[in-house]
Copies of this chain bind each other. A is one copy, B any other.
Amino acid sequence: MPELRKDPVVGRWIIVAPERAERPNAVVRALPDQDDPASCPFCPGHEAMTPPELLAHRDAPSGSNGRGWALRVVPNKFPALRTEERMARTGQGLYDTMAGVGAHEVIIETPEHGRQLPQQSPEQVEQLLRAVQERILDLSRDVRLRTAVFFKNSGAAAGASLSHPHSQIVALPLVPSELEQEMSGARAYFEEKKRCVFCDVIAQEARERSRVVLETDGFIALSPFAARGPFELLILPREHRSVFERSSAAELQSLARALRLSLRKLDLALDKPAYNFYLHGLPLREEPSDWYHWHLEVRPVLALAAGFEWGTGFFINPTPPEEAAAFLRQTEA
Contacts and interface: CB of A to CB of B under 8 A. Distances in A.
A264 to B, nearest CB: 19
Nearest to A321: B16
A198 interface: yes
Interface string A265-289: 0000000000011111000000000
A225 interface: yes
Q: How many copies does the complex hold?
A: 2
Interface of A is mostly: mixed
Contacts of A317: 14-17
A224 B11 CA distance: 13
Interface in A300-333: 301-308, 310-321, 323
A227 interface: yes
A14 B304 contact: no
B26 A303 contact: yes
Contacts of A301: 28
Interface in A1-48: 5-21, 26-28, 30
23 contacts: A7-B226, A8-B200, A8-B225, A8-B226, A11-B185, A12-B228, A12-B315, A14-B316, A17-B317, A19-B318, A21-B318, A28-B157, A28-B303, A80-B308, A92-B225, A95-B226, A151-B306, A168-B308, A172-B312, A177-B314, A279-B311, A297-B310, A297-B311
Given A11-B181, A16-B319, A153-B308, 5 more contacts: A5-B225, A10-B182, A158-B307, A276-B307, A278-B308
Interface of A: 5-21, 26-28, 30, 80, 92-95, 149, 151-153, 157-160, 168, 170, 172, 176-179, 181-182, 185-186, 189, 197-198, 200-201, 204, 208, 224-228, 230, 276-280, 297, 299, 301-308, 310-321, 323
